A = this chain, B = another copy of it.
Amino acid sequence: MNLLARSPRPLTGQMMDMPLMISSLLVHAARHAADTEVVSKRVEGDVHRYTYKDAELRARKLAQALARLGCEPGDRVGTLAWNGYRHFEIYFGSSGSQLVCHTINPRLFPEQIAWIASDAADRVLCFDLNFLPLVEKLAAQLPSVEHFVLLTDRAHMPAQTSIDKLLCYDDLVEAEDGNYAWPEFDENTASSICYTSGTTGHPKGAVYSHRSTLLHTYGLSMPDAMGVSSRDVILPVVPMFHVNAWGVPYAAPMIGAKLVFPGPHLDGKSLYEMMEAERVSFSAGVPTVWLGLITYAKQHKLKFSSLRRTVIGGSACPPAMMRTLEDDFGVEVIHAWGMTEMSPLGTLSRLKAKHESLDADAKHRILEKQGKVIFGVDMAILDDDGKPLPWNGKDSGNLVVRGPWVIRSYFQREESPLVEVDGRQWFPTGDVAAIDPDAYMQITDRSKDVIKSGGEWISSIELENIAMAHPAVHEAAAIACHHPKWDERPLMVIVRKPDASLTAAELLQFFEGRIAKWQIPDDVVFVDELPHTATGKIQKLKLREQFKEHRLPTSP
Protein backbone atom coordinates (compact mmCIF):
# COMPACT_ATOMS: atom_id res chain seq x y z
CA MET A 1 0.00 0.00 0.00
CA ASN A 2 1.49 3.33 -1.01
CA LEU A 3 -0.37 6.34 0.28
CA LEU A 4 1.56 8.74 -1.86
CA ALA A 5 0.65 7.05 -5.11
CA ARG A 6 -2.73 8.60 -5.68
CA SER A 7 -5.31 6.80 -7.80
CA PRO A 8 -6.09 8.27 -11.21
CA ARG A 9 -8.68 11.05 -11.11
CA PRO A 10 -11.55 10.66 -11.29
CA LEU A 11 -11.59 7.09 -10.05
CA THR A 12 -13.25 4.54 -12.34
CA GLY A 13 -15.69 1.97 -10.99
CA GLN A 14 -14.62 -1.66 -11.12
CA MET A 15 -17.91 -3.26 -12.12
CA MET A 16 -18.45 -5.68 -15.00
CA ASP A 17 -18.64 -3.88 -18.31
CA MET A 18 -21.85 -5.27 -19.76
CA PRO A 19 -23.84 -3.37 -22.38
CA LEU A 20 -27.61 -3.31 -21.97
CA MET A 21 -28.80 -5.61 -24.77
CA ILE A 22 -32.37 -6.38 -25.85
CA SER A 23 -31.37 -10.00 -26.55
CA SER A 24 -30.52 -10.41 -22.86
CA LEU A 25 -34.20 -9.97 -21.96
CA LEU A 26 -35.19 -13.08 -23.88
CA VAL A 27 -32.08 -15.02 -22.81
CA HIS A 28 -33.00 -14.20 -19.21
CA ALA A 29 -36.54 -15.48 -19.70
CA ALA A 30 -35.31 -18.64 -21.45
CA ARG A 31 -32.99 -19.39 -18.50
CA HIS A 32 -35.05 -18.22 -15.53
CA ALA A 33 -38.62 -18.64 -16.75
CA ALA A 34 -37.92 -21.45 -19.21
CA ASP A 35 -41.35 -23.10 -19.05
CA THR A 36 -43.38 -19.91 -18.77
CA GLU A 37 -45.81 -19.71 -21.67
CA VAL A 38 -46.27 -17.32 -24.54
CA VAL A 39 -49.81 -17.88 -25.86
CA SER A 40 -51.01 -16.39 -29.15
CA LYS A 41 -54.32 -16.21 -30.93
CA ARG A 42 -53.11 -16.63 -34.50
CA VAL A 43 -54.31 -14.83 -37.59
CA GLU A 44 -54.75 -18.37 -38.93
CA GLY A 45 -57.54 -18.78 -36.37
CA ASP A 46 -56.13 -21.21 -33.80
CA VAL A 47 -54.31 -20.71 -30.51
CA HIS A 48 -50.56 -21.27 -30.43
CA ARG A 49 -48.63 -21.85 -27.23
CA TYR A 50 -44.98 -22.35 -26.47
CA THR A 51 -42.46 -21.27 -23.83
CA TYR A 52 -39.84 -18.57 -23.47
CA LYS A 53 -37.24 -21.28 -24.04
CA ASP A 54 -38.87 -22.10 -27.38
CA ALA A 55 -39.20 -18.41 -28.26
CA GLU A 56 -35.54 -17.70 -27.60
CA LEU A 57 -34.45 -20.60 -29.80
CA ARG A 58 -36.76 -19.43 -32.62
CA ALA A 59 -35.48 -15.84 -32.27
CA ARG A 60 -31.92 -17.16 -32.64
CA LYS A 61 -32.93 -19.07 -35.77
CA LEU A 62 -34.60 -15.94 -37.11
CA ALA A 63 -31.38 -13.97 -36.54
CA GLN A 64 -29.58 -16.61 -38.61
CA ALA A 65 -32.26 -16.47 -41.31
CA LEU A 66 -32.12 -12.67 -41.57
CA ALA A 67 -28.34 -12.82 -41.94
CA ARG A 68 -28.76 -15.48 -44.62
CA LEU A 69 -31.10 -13.08 -46.50
CA GLY A 70 -28.19 -10.65 -46.56
CA CYS A 71 -29.20 -8.32 -43.73
CA GLU A 72 -26.30 -6.44 -42.21
CA PRO A 73 -26.03 -4.48 -38.94
CA GLY A 74 -28.25 -1.40 -39.06
CA ASP A 75 -30.64 -2.75 -41.72
CA ARG A 76 -34.32 -2.22 -41.00
CA VAL A 77 -36.80 -5.08 -40.79
CA GLY A 78 -40.33 -3.78 -41.29
CA THR A 79 -43.43 -5.45 -39.82
CA LEU A 80 -47.14 -5.19 -40.56
CA ALA A 81 -48.44 -7.52 -37.88
CA TRP A 82 -50.80 -8.06 -34.97
CA ASN A 83 -49.75 -9.09 -31.49
CA GLY A 84 -48.46 -12.65 -31.77
CA TYR A 85 -45.47 -14.87 -31.13
CA ARG A 86 -43.92 -14.43 -34.58
CA HIS A 87 -44.00 -10.65 -34.18
CA PHE A 88 -42.45 -11.20 -30.72
CA GLU A 89 -39.66 -13.28 -32.28
CA ILE A 90 -38.97 -10.49 -34.79
CA TYR A 91 -38.60 -7.97 -31.92
CA PHE A 92 -35.70 -10.03 -30.55
CA GLY A 93 -34.33 -11.75 -33.66
CA SER A 94 -33.87 -8.43 -35.47
CA SER A 95 -32.77 -6.09 -32.65
CA GLY A 96 -30.74 -8.85 -31.00
CA SER A 97 -28.67 -9.35 -34.17
CA GLN A 98 -28.01 -5.61 -34.51
CA LEU A 99 -30.77 -5.06 -37.08
CA VAL A 100 -33.49 -2.50 -36.46
CA CYS A 101 -37.09 -3.59 -35.87
CA HIS A 102 -39.45 -1.23 -37.65
CA THR A 103 -43.10 -1.80 -36.71
CA ILE A 104 -45.58 -0.15 -39.08
CA ASN A 105 -49.18 0.63 -38.20
CA PRO A 106 -51.32 -1.31 -40.71
CA ARG A 107 -54.29 0.96 -39.96
CA LEU A 108 -52.64 3.89 -41.73
CA PHE A 109 -53.60 4.81 -45.27
CA PRO A 110 -51.75 2.58 -47.79
CA GLU A 111 -49.81 5.51 -49.23
CA GLN A 112 -48.63 6.41 -45.69
CA ILE A 113 -47.46 2.85 -45.13
CA ALA A 114 -45.51 2.95 -48.37
CA TRP A 115 -44.03 6.33 -47.48
CA ILE A 116 -42.94 5.16 -44.01
CA ALA A 117 -41.44 1.85 -45.20
CA SER A 118 -39.52 3.76 -47.85
CA ASP A 119 -38.38 6.52 -45.49
CA ALA A 120 -37.02 3.85 -43.15
CA ALA A 121 -35.60 2.00 -46.20
CA ASP A 122 -36.88 -1.31 -44.86
CA ARG A 123 -34.91 -4.12 -46.47
CA VAL A 124 -37.25 -6.88 -45.30
CA LEU A 125 -40.99 -6.64 -44.77
CA CYS A 126 -42.70 -9.24 -42.56
CA PHE A 127 -46.51 -9.24 -42.58
CA ASP A 128 -49.48 -11.20 -41.31
CA LEU A 129 -51.62 -13.35 -43.58
CA ASN A 130 -54.52 -10.89 -43.60
CA PHE A 131 -52.29 -8.09 -44.86
CA LEU A 132 -51.32 -10.00 -48.01
CA PRO A 133 -53.82 -8.14 -50.26
CA LEU A 134 -52.56 -4.81 -48.89
CA VAL A 135 -48.91 -5.68 -49.46
CA GLU A 136 -49.64 -7.03 -52.94
CA LYS A 137 -51.12 -3.66 -53.79
CA LEU A 138 -48.21 -1.74 -52.21
CA ALA A 139 -45.25 -3.86 -53.33
CA ALA A 140 -44.47 -1.72 -56.34
CA GLN A 141 -44.22 1.35 -54.08
CA LEU A 142 -41.67 -0.29 -51.79
CA PRO A 143 -38.39 -0.07 -53.72
CA SER A 144 -36.20 -0.64 -50.65
CA VAL A 145 -37.82 -3.95 -49.75
CA GLU A 146 -35.78 -6.87 -51.07
CA HIS A 147 -37.57 -9.64 -49.16
CA PHE A 148 -41.27 -10.04 -48.51
CA VAL A 149 -41.91 -12.52 -45.67
CA LEU A 150 -45.37 -13.85 -44.91
CA LEU A 151 -45.78 -14.57 -41.19
CA THR A 152 -47.24 -18.04 -41.48
CA ASP A 153 -46.38 -21.68 -42.07
CA ARG A 154 -46.04 -23.60 -45.34
CA ALA A 155 -49.65 -24.87 -45.20
CA HIS A 156 -51.05 -21.32 -45.20
CA MET A 157 -48.92 -19.94 -48.01
CA PRO A 158 -51.07 -18.64 -50.89
CA ALA A 159 -51.23 -20.73 -54.04
CA GLN A 160 -50.85 -17.58 -56.09
CA THR A 161 -49.56 -14.11 -55.34
CA SER A 162 -48.39 -11.14 -57.33
CA ILE A 163 -45.39 -10.78 -54.97
CA ASP A 164 -42.26 -12.08 -56.55
CA LYS A 165 -40.44 -14.72 -54.42
CA LEU A 166 -42.75 -14.41 -51.41
CA LEU A 167 -41.01 -16.06 -48.46
CA CYS A 168 -42.61 -18.22 -45.77
CA TYR A 169 -41.57 -17.13 -42.25
CA ASP A 170 -41.77 -20.56 -40.66
CA ASP A 171 -39.75 -22.10 -43.48
CA LEU A 172 -37.04 -19.49 -43.01
CA VAL A 173 -36.85 -20.06 -39.27
CA GLU A 174 -37.06 -23.83 -39.38
CA ALA A 175 -34.27 -24.09 -41.94
CA GLU A 176 -31.77 -22.81 -39.36
CA ASP A 177 -30.04 -24.77 -36.59
CA GLY A 178 -30.10 -22.13 -33.83
CA ASN A 179 -26.36 -22.43 -33.38
CA TYR A 180 -26.03 -18.70 -32.91
CA ALA A 181 -24.57 -16.61 -30.08
CA TRP A 182 -26.24 -13.25 -29.47
CA PRO A 183 -23.62 -10.57 -30.18
CA GLU A 184 -22.69 -7.88 -27.65
CA PHE A 185 -22.21 -4.39 -29.07
CA ASP A 186 -22.56 -0.72 -28.14
CA GLU A 187 -25.78 -0.30 -26.15
CA ASN A 188 -26.49 2.98 -27.95
CA THR A 189 -26.99 1.08 -31.21
CA ALA A 190 -30.44 1.55 -32.77
CA SER A 191 -32.83 -1.28 -31.84
CA SER A 192 -36.15 -0.20 -33.28
CA ILE A 193 -38.00 2.59 -35.05
CA CYS A 194 -41.57 3.80 -34.60
CA TYR A 195 -43.08 6.58 -36.67
CA THR A 196 -45.32 9.21 -35.14
CA SER A 197 -48.68 9.49 -36.84
CA GLY A 198 -48.05 13.19 -37.50
CA THR A 199 -51.16 15.32 -37.90
CA THR A 200 -49.28 17.73 -40.14
CA GLY A 201 -46.48 16.93 -42.56
CA HIS A 202 -44.90 13.54 -43.05
CA PRO A 203 -44.57 11.05 -40.18
CA LYS A 204 -41.25 11.13 -38.34
CA GLY A 205 -39.30 8.19 -36.98
CA ALA A 206 -38.22 7.81 -33.34
CA VAL A 207 -35.08 5.66 -33.21
CA TYR A 208 -34.79 3.75 -29.94
CA SER A 209 -31.57 2.18 -28.72
CA HIS A 210 -30.85 -0.97 -26.74
CA ARG A 211 -29.94 1.22 -23.78
CA SER A 212 -33.08 3.35 -23.92
CA THR A 213 -35.26 0.26 -24.32
CA LEU A 214 -33.76 -1.55 -21.33
CA LEU A 215 -33.91 1.49 -19.06
CA HIS A 216 -37.54 2.06 -20.13
CA THR A 217 -38.30 -1.58 -19.40
CA TYR A 218 -36.84 -1.38 -15.89
CA GLY A 219 -38.80 1.82 -15.34
CA LEU A 220 -42.16 0.55 -16.52
CA SER A 221 -41.94 -2.60 -14.41
CA MET A 222 -41.65 -0.69 -11.14
CA PRO A 223 -44.53 -0.64 -8.65
CA ASP A 224 -45.26 3.04 -9.31
CA ALA A 225 -45.49 2.34 -13.05
CA MET A 226 -47.07 -0.87 -14.39
CA GLY A 227 -45.89 -2.85 -11.36
CA VAL A 228 -45.76 -6.17 -13.18
CA SER A 229 -44.15 -9.32 -11.80
CA SER A 230 -43.63 -13.02 -12.43
CA ARG A 231 -46.97 -13.57 -10.67
CA ASP A 232 -48.76 -11.78 -13.51
CA VAL A 233 -50.25 -13.08 -16.73
CA ILE A 234 -50.06 -10.18 -19.17
CA LEU A 235 -52.24 -9.52 -22.20
CA PRO A 236 -51.18 -6.45 -24.16
CA VAL A 237 -54.19 -5.21 -26.10
CA VAL A 238 -52.19 -2.20 -27.22
CA PRO A 239 -50.73 -3.27 -30.57
CA MET A 240 -47.07 -4.14 -31.04
CA PHE A 241 -47.10 -1.61 -33.92
CA HIS A 242 -48.12 1.12 -31.48
CA VAL A 243 -44.85 2.27 -29.79
CA ASN A 244 -43.78 -1.33 -29.15
CA ALA A 245 -47.01 -2.12 -27.27
CA TRP A 246 -45.88 0.39 -24.64
CA GLY A 247 -42.87 -1.81 -23.86
CA VAL A 248 -44.85 -4.80 -22.60
CA PRO A 249 -43.15 -7.32 -24.96
CA TYR A 250 -39.83 -6.35 -23.35
CA ALA A 251 -41.13 -6.21 -19.76
CA ALA A 252 -42.76 -9.66 -19.78
CA PRO A 253 -39.51 -11.57 -20.46
CA MET A 254 -37.59 -9.26 -18.09
CA ILE A 255 -39.84 -10.35 -15.23
CA GLY A 256 -40.64 -13.82 -16.56
CA ALA A 257 -44.40 -13.29 -16.78
CA LYS A 258 -46.69 -15.36 -18.97
CA LEU A 259 -47.59 -13.40 -22.10
CA VAL A 260 -50.90 -13.66 -23.95
CA PHE A 261 -51.15 -12.20 -27.46
CA PRO A 262 -54.71 -11.53 -28.67
CA GLY A 263 -54.00 -11.52 -32.42
CA PRO A 264 -56.24 -9.46 -34.67
CA HIS A 265 -59.55 -9.76 -32.79
CA LEU A 266 -59.79 -6.97 -30.24
CA ASP A 267 -63.58 -6.98 -29.79
CA GLY A 268 -65.06 -7.39 -26.30
CA LYS A 269 -66.01 -11.04 -26.71
CA SER A 270 -62.64 -12.20 -28.07
CA LEU A 271 -60.69 -10.34 -25.40
CA TYR A 272 -62.95 -11.48 -22.58
CA GLU A 273 -62.71 -15.12 -23.58
CA MET A 274 -58.93 -14.99 -23.95
CA MET A 275 -58.55 -13.27 -20.57
CA GLU A 276 -60.64 -15.88 -18.82
CA ALA A 277 -59.11 -18.88 -20.61
CA GLU A 278 -55.53 -17.85 -19.84
CA ARG A 279 -56.17 -16.34 -16.39
CA VAL A 280 -54.90 -12.91 -17.43
CA SER A 281 -54.19 -10.66 -14.42
CA PHE A 282 -52.84 -7.56 -16.15
CA SER A 283 -53.63 -5.78 -19.40
CA ALA A 284 -52.93 -2.52 -21.21
CA GLY A 285 -54.80 -0.65 -23.92
CA VAL A 286 -56.56 2.49 -25.14
CA PRO A 287 -59.96 3.58 -23.74
CA THR A 288 -62.01 2.45 -26.75
CA VAL A 289 -60.87 -1.15 -26.29
CA TRP A 290 -62.04 -1.10 -22.68
CA LEU A 291 -65.34 0.36 -23.75
CA GLY A 292 -65.89 -2.70 -25.97
CA LEU A 293 -64.86 -5.07 -23.20
CA ILE A 294 -67.04 -3.39 -20.57
CA THR A 295 -70.04 -3.30 -22.89
CA TYR A 296 -69.70 -7.00 -23.68
CA ALA A 297 -69.23 -7.98 -20.02
CA LYS A 298 -72.25 -5.91 -18.92
CA GLN A 299 -74.48 -7.26 -21.69
CA HIS A 300 -73.71 -10.82 -20.65
CA LYS A 301 -73.52 -10.12 -16.92
CA LEU A 302 -69.94 -11.38 -16.75
CA LYS A 303 -67.20 -10.74 -14.22
CA PHE A 304 -63.43 -11.05 -14.58
CA SER A 305 -62.16 -13.99 -12.58
CA SER A 306 -58.45 -13.18 -12.82
CA LEU A 307 -58.01 -9.65 -14.23
CA ARG A 308 -56.85 -7.30 -11.48
CA ARG A 309 -55.10 -4.29 -13.04
CA THR A 310 -54.98 -2.51 -16.36
CA VAL A 311 -53.05 0.40 -17.77
CA ILE A 312 -55.14 2.79 -19.86
CA GLY A 313 -53.40 5.34 -22.05
CA GLY A 314 -53.15 6.59 -25.61
CA SER A 315 -55.81 9.17 -24.86
CA ALA A 316 -57.28 10.41 -21.58
CA CYS A 317 -59.35 7.76 -19.78
CA PRO A 318 -62.89 9.03 -19.10
CA PRO A 319 -63.42 9.13 -15.31
CA ALA A 320 -66.66 7.19 -15.67
CA MET A 321 -64.77 4.31 -17.29
CA MET A 322 -62.27 4.24 -14.44
CA ARG A 323 -65.09 4.06 -11.90
CA THR A 324 -66.93 1.32 -13.80
CA LEU A 325 -63.85 -0.86 -14.07
CA GLU A 326 -62.99 -0.38 -10.42
CA ASP A 327 -66.41 -0.41 -8.77
CA ASP A 328 -68.30 -2.85 -11.00
CA PHE A 329 -65.47 -5.15 -12.05
CA GLY A 330 -62.80 -4.83 -9.33
CA VAL A 331 -60.16 -3.93 -11.91
CA GLU A 332 -57.66 -1.28 -10.84
CA VAL A 333 -57.08 1.32 -13.56
CA ILE A 334 -53.62 2.82 -13.95
CA HIS A 335 -53.94 5.98 -16.00
CA ALA A 336 -50.84 6.55 -18.12
CA TRP A 337 -49.45 9.22 -20.41
CA GLY A 338 -46.62 9.11 -22.90
CA MET A 339 -45.78 9.50 -26.54
CA THR A 340 -43.87 7.83 -29.36
CA GLU A 341 -40.95 10.16 -28.69
CA MET A 342 -40.84 8.83 -25.09
CA SER A 343 -40.62 5.06 -25.74
CA PRO A 344 -43.53 5.81 -24.73
CA LEU A 345 -44.02 5.96 -20.96
CA GLY A 346 -43.79 9.28 -19.17
CA THR A 347 -46.24 9.42 -16.31
CA LEU A 348 -48.66 7.09 -14.52
CA SER A 349 -51.24 7.94 -11.93
CA ARG A 350 -50.42 6.16 -8.70
CA LEU A 351 -51.14 7.30 -5.17
CA LYS A 352 -48.47 8.21 -2.63
CA ALA A 353 -48.36 7.10 1.00
CA LYS A 354 -49.71 10.53 2.02
CA HIS A 355 -52.96 9.81 0.14
CA GLU A 356 -53.69 6.62 2.08
CA SER A 357 -56.21 8.30 4.38
CA LEU A 358 -58.15 10.19 1.67
CA ASP A 359 -61.71 9.18 0.82
CA ALA A 360 -62.51 7.38 -2.44
CA ASP A 361 -63.56 10.55 -4.29
CA ALA A 362 -60.43 12.46 -3.38
CA LYS A 363 -58.30 9.49 -4.44
CA HIS A 364 -60.14 9.35 -7.76
CA ARG A 365 -59.54 13.01 -8.47
CA ILE A 366 -55.80 12.32 -8.16
CA LEU A 367 -55.91 9.12 -10.20
CA GLU A 368 -57.77 10.86 -13.03
CA LYS A 369 -54.73 13.03 -13.69
CA GLN A 370 -52.02 11.84 -16.06
CA GLY A 371 -49.82 11.23 -13.03
CA LYS A 372 -46.25 11.19 -11.80
CA VAL A 373 -43.11 10.60 -13.84
CA ILE A 374 -41.24 7.32 -13.63
CA PHE A 375 -37.68 7.83 -12.36
CA GLY A 376 -35.60 8.58 -15.44
CA VAL A 377 -38.04 11.06 -16.93
CA ASP A 378 -38.21 14.64 -15.72
CA MET A 379 -40.74 17.25 -16.81
CA ALA A 380 -41.34 21.00 -16.67
CA ILE A 381 -44.00 23.42 -17.85
CA LEU A 382 -42.92 26.56 -19.64
CA ASP A 383 -44.57 29.84 -20.49
CA ASP A 384 -44.34 31.22 -24.03
CA ASP A 385 -40.97 32.75 -23.26
CA GLY A 386 -39.59 29.35 -22.24
CA LYS A 387 -39.53 30.24 -18.54
CA PRO A 388 -40.46 27.43 -16.09
CA LEU A 389 -43.84 27.87 -14.41
CA PRO A 390 -44.58 26.90 -10.79
CA TRP A 391 -46.07 23.52 -9.89
CA ASN A 392 -49.21 24.83 -8.22
CA GLY A 393 -51.83 22.80 -10.06
CA LYS A 394 -53.22 26.02 -11.56
CA ASP A 395 -50.70 27.51 -13.97
CA SER A 396 -50.53 25.58 -17.18
CA GLY A 397 -47.80 25.76 -19.79
CA ASN A 398 -46.00 23.92 -22.54
CA LEU A 399 -45.01 20.52 -21.23
CA VAL A 400 -41.37 19.55 -21.89
CA VAL A 401 -39.65 16.32 -20.89
CA ARG A 402 -36.19 14.80 -20.76
CA GLY A 403 -34.68 11.43 -19.95
CA PRO A 404 -32.63 8.56 -21.36
CA TRP A 405 -35.68 7.13 -23.15
CA VAL A 406 -36.72 10.45 -24.73
CA ILE A 407 -35.58 11.19 -28.29
CA ARG A 408 -33.02 13.87 -29.09
CA SER A 409 -33.79 13.92 -32.83
CA TYR A 410 -35.85 12.17 -35.50
CA PHE A 411 -34.64 9.61 -38.03
CA GLN A 412 -32.86 11.29 -40.94
CA ARG A 413 -33.95 14.77 -39.83
CA GLU A 414 -31.22 17.22 -39.15
CA GLU A 415 -33.11 19.85 -37.19
CA SER A 416 -33.22 19.33 -33.44
CA PRO A 417 -36.70 19.33 -31.93
CA LEU A 418 -35.26 20.16 -28.49
CA VAL A 419 -35.51 23.40 -26.53
CA GLU A 420 -32.99 24.62 -23.99
CA VAL A 421 -34.03 25.60 -20.48
CA ASP A 422 -31.48 26.48 -17.80
CA GLY A 423 -28.69 24.98 -19.85
CA ARG A 424 -30.40 21.61 -20.35
CA GLN A 425 -32.09 20.16 -23.42
CA TRP A 426 -35.80 19.27 -23.23
CA PHE A 427 -38.22 17.72 -25.68
CA PRO A 428 -41.39 19.79 -26.23
CA THR A 429 -44.36 17.43 -26.09
CA GLY A 430 -46.85 19.73 -27.80
CA ASP A 431 -49.13 19.30 -24.80
CA VAL A 432 -50.19 22.00 -22.39
CA ALA A 433 -50.32 20.82 -18.80
CA ALA A 434 -50.50 21.86 -15.17
CA ILE A 435 -48.44 20.16 -12.47
CA ASP A 436 -49.63 20.14 -8.87
CA PRO A 437 -47.37 20.51 -5.80
CA ASP A 438 -47.28 16.70 -5.45
CA ALA A 439 -45.85 16.47 -9.02
CA TYR A 440 -49.00 15.03 -10.60
CA MET A 441 -49.30 16.25 -14.17
CA GLN A 442 -52.59 16.95 -15.87
CA ILE A 443 -52.90 17.64 -19.59
CA THR A 444 -55.13 20.64 -20.17
CA ASP A 445 -54.74 21.11 -23.91
CA ARG A 446 -52.62 20.66 -27.00
CA SER A 447 -50.20 23.58 -27.41
CA LYS A 448 -51.60 24.51 -30.79
CA ASP A 449 -55.18 24.58 -29.48
CA VAL A 450 -54.75 26.66 -26.33
CA ILE A 451 -56.23 30.19 -26.49
CA LYS A 452 -53.81 32.94 -25.49
CA SER A 453 -55.73 35.91 -24.16
CA GLY A 454 -53.63 38.89 -23.06
CA GLY A 455 -50.79 36.63 -21.91
CA GLU A 456 -53.11 34.27 -20.01
CA TRP A 457 -53.95 30.83 -21.32
CA ILE A 458 -57.45 29.43 -21.70
CA SER A 459 -57.90 25.68 -22.11
CA SER A 460 -59.99 24.82 -25.16
CA ILE A 461 -60.72 21.42 -23.62
CA GLU A 462 -62.20 22.99 -20.51
CA LEU A 463 -64.50 25.24 -22.56
CA GLU A 464 -65.61 22.29 -24.67
CA ASN A 465 -66.33 20.15 -21.61
CA ILE A 466 -68.61 22.88 -20.25
CA ALA A 467 -70.41 23.38 -23.56
CA MET A 468 -70.88 19.63 -23.95
CA ALA A 469 -72.64 19.57 -20.59
CA HIS A 470 -75.44 21.74 -22.04
CA PRO A 471 -78.39 19.52 -23.00
CA ALA A 472 -78.83 21.16 -26.42
CA VAL A 473 -75.21 20.72 -27.54
CA HIS A 474 -74.28 17.78 -29.76
CA GLU A 475 -70.65 18.72 -30.40
CA ALA A 476 -68.46 21.66 -29.46
CA ALA A 477 -65.09 23.10 -30.38
CA ALA A 478 -63.36 26.07 -28.76
CA ILE A 479 -60.87 27.86 -30.97
CA ALA A 480 -58.75 30.97 -30.76
CA CYS A 481 -60.08 33.94 -32.71
CA HIS A 482 -58.05 37.07 -33.37
CA HIS A 483 -58.79 40.00 -31.05
CA PRO A 484 -57.15 43.40 -31.58
CA LYS A 485 -56.68 44.05 -27.85
CA TRP A 486 -56.25 40.58 -26.27
CA ASP A 487 -54.50 38.99 -29.24
CA GLU A 488 -56.75 35.91 -28.99
CA ARG A 489 -60.17 35.29 -27.45
CA PRO A 490 -62.23 32.06 -27.41
CA LEU A 491 -64.87 31.38 -30.05
CA MET A 492 -67.23 28.44 -29.57
CA VAL A 493 -68.22 26.46 -32.65
CA ILE A 494 -71.32 24.45 -31.87
CA VAL A 495 -73.41 21.72 -33.46
CA ARG A 496 -76.86 21.67 -31.89
CA LYS A 497 -78.68 18.43 -31.13
CA PRO A 498 -81.39 17.60 -33.70
CA ASP A 499 -84.51 19.63 -32.95
CA ALA A 500 -82.85 21.45 -30.04
CA SER A 501 -82.95 25.21 -29.89
CA LEU A 502 -80.11 27.20 -28.43
CA THR A 503 -78.96 30.78 -28.90
CA ALA A 504 -75.49 32.18 -28.49
CA ALA A 505 -76.63 34.26 -25.52
CA GLU A 506 -78.12 31.20 -23.81
CA LEU A 507 -74.93 29.22 -24.18
CA LEU A 508 -72.74 32.08 -22.95
CA GLN A 509 -75.08 32.42 -19.98
CA PHE A 510 -74.48 28.71 -19.30
CA PHE A 511 -70.75 29.42 -18.79
CA GLU A 512 -71.44 31.86 -15.96
CA GLY A 513 -70.28 30.43 -12.65
CA ARG A 514 -68.74 27.41 -14.33
CA ILE A 515 -65.47 29.13 -15.21
CA ALA A 516 -63.63 32.37 -14.41
CA LYS A 517 -65.38 35.35 -16.02
CA TRP A 518 -62.44 36.32 -18.24
CA GLN A 519 -62.33 32.80 -19.69
CA ILE A 520 -65.94 32.84 -20.94
CA PRO A 521 -65.99 32.75 -24.76
CA ASP A 522 -66.60 36.03 -26.60
CA ASP A 523 -68.88 34.53 -29.19
CA VAL A 524 -70.68 31.40 -30.40
CA VAL A 525 -71.29 30.26 -33.96
CA PHE A 526 -73.55 27.40 -34.96
CA VAL A 527 -72.64 24.96 -37.73
CA ASP A 528 -74.19 21.81 -39.15
CA GLU A 529 -71.14 19.69 -38.54
CA LEU A 530 -67.50 19.88 -37.45
CA PRO A 531 -64.58 18.65 -39.59
CA HIS A 532 -62.96 15.44 -38.30
CA THR A 533 -59.71 13.55 -38.94
CA ALA A 534 -59.67 9.90 -40.04
CA THR A 535 -59.31 8.88 -36.37
CA GLY A 536 -62.29 10.98 -35.28
CA LYS A 537 -60.53 14.00 -33.80
CA ILE A 538 -61.88 17.49 -34.49
CA GLN A 539 -59.70 19.30 -37.03
CA LYS A 540 -59.18 22.53 -35.16
CA LEU A 541 -56.62 23.79 -37.65
CA LYS A 542 -59.30 23.67 -40.33
CA LEU A 543 -61.80 25.42 -38.05
CA ARG A 544 -59.33 28.18 -37.23
CA GLU A 545 -58.77 28.64 -40.94
CA GLN A 546 -62.52 28.75 -41.54
CA PHE A 547 -63.13 31.41 -38.87
CA LYS A 548 -59.96 33.40 -39.49
CA GLU A 549 -61.97 36.46 -40.58
CA HIS A 550 -64.64 36.12 -37.89
CA ARG A 551 -65.14 39.45 -36.14
CA LEU A 552 -65.80 39.07 -32.43
CA PRO A 553 -68.54 41.30 -30.95
CA THR A 554 -66.01 42.31 -28.27
CA SER A 555 -63.60 43.82 -30.80
CA PRO A 556 -63.31 47.59 -30.34
A contact set with B: CB distance below 8 Å: 1, 3, 6-18, 20, 25, 28, 31-36, 72-75, 98, 100, 118-119, 121, 143-144, 185-186, 188-191, 206-212, 215, 218-219, 221-224, 227-233, 254-258, 279, 281, 343, 350-354, 356, 372-373, 375, 378, 402-412, 425, 427, 437-439
Contacts and interface: CB of A to CB of B under 8 A. Distances in A.
Nearest to A14: B207
B255 A10 contact: no
A3 B121 contact: yes
A402 B403 CA distance: 27
Contacts of A255: 222-224, 375
B229 A31 contact: no
Contact of A375 (B25, B118, B233): B25
A9 B190 CA distance: 10
Contacts of A32: 372-373, 439
A94 to B, nearest CB: 12
Contacts of A343: 15
B219 A408 contact: no
A34 B185 CA distance: 39
Q: How many copies does the complex hold?
A: 2
Q: Max chain B CB contacts within 10 Å: which of A1, A14, A405?
A: A14
A27 B6 CA distance: 31
30 contacts: A1-B119, A7-B74, A9-B75, A10-B73, A11-B74, A11-B100, A11-B189, A12-B207, A13-B188, A13-B189, A13-B208, A14-B407, A15-B212, A15-B404, A15-B407, A16-B404, A16-B408, A16-B425, A18-B404, A31-B439, A32-B372, A33-B439, A35-B354, A218-B219, A222-B222, A223-B227, A230-B350, A231-B356, A258-B353, A281-B353
A410 B74 CA distance: 37
Contacts of A279: 353
A227 B229 CA distance: 9
Contacts of A375: 25, 28, 218, 254-255
B119 A15 contact: no
A352 B37 CA distance: 12
Given A33-B352, A219-B218, A375-B255, A13 B73 contact: no
B16 A406 contact: yes
Q: Max chain B CB contacts within 10 Å: which of A10, A211, A279, A378?
A: A10
Q: Max chain B CB contacts within 10 Å: which of A8, A17, A210, A224?
A: A224
Q: Max chain B CB contacts within 10 Å: which of A144, A254, A255, A372?
A: A255
B353 A232 contact: yes
B407 A16 contact: yes
Contact of A18 (B121, B218, B402): B402
Contacts of A191: 13
B207 A11 contact: yes
A104 B177 CA distance: 53
Given A9-B75, A10-B190, A224-B229, 20 more contacts: A1-B118, A9-B73, A11-B73, A11-B190, A12-B186, A13-B191, A14-B407, A14-B409, A15-B188, A15-B343, A15-B406, A15-B407, A16-B408, A18-B404, A36-B354, A222-B223, A224-B255, A227-B229, A231-B356, A255-B375
B210 A13 contact: yes
Contact of A13 (B8, B34, B211, B227): B211
Contacts of A34: 437, 439
A410 B13 CA distance: 10
Contacts of A412: 1, 7
Given A11-B100, A406-B16, A31 B118 contact: no
Given A6-B121, A232-B353, A352-B36, A212 B439 contact: no
Contacts of A11: 73-74, 100, 189-190, 207
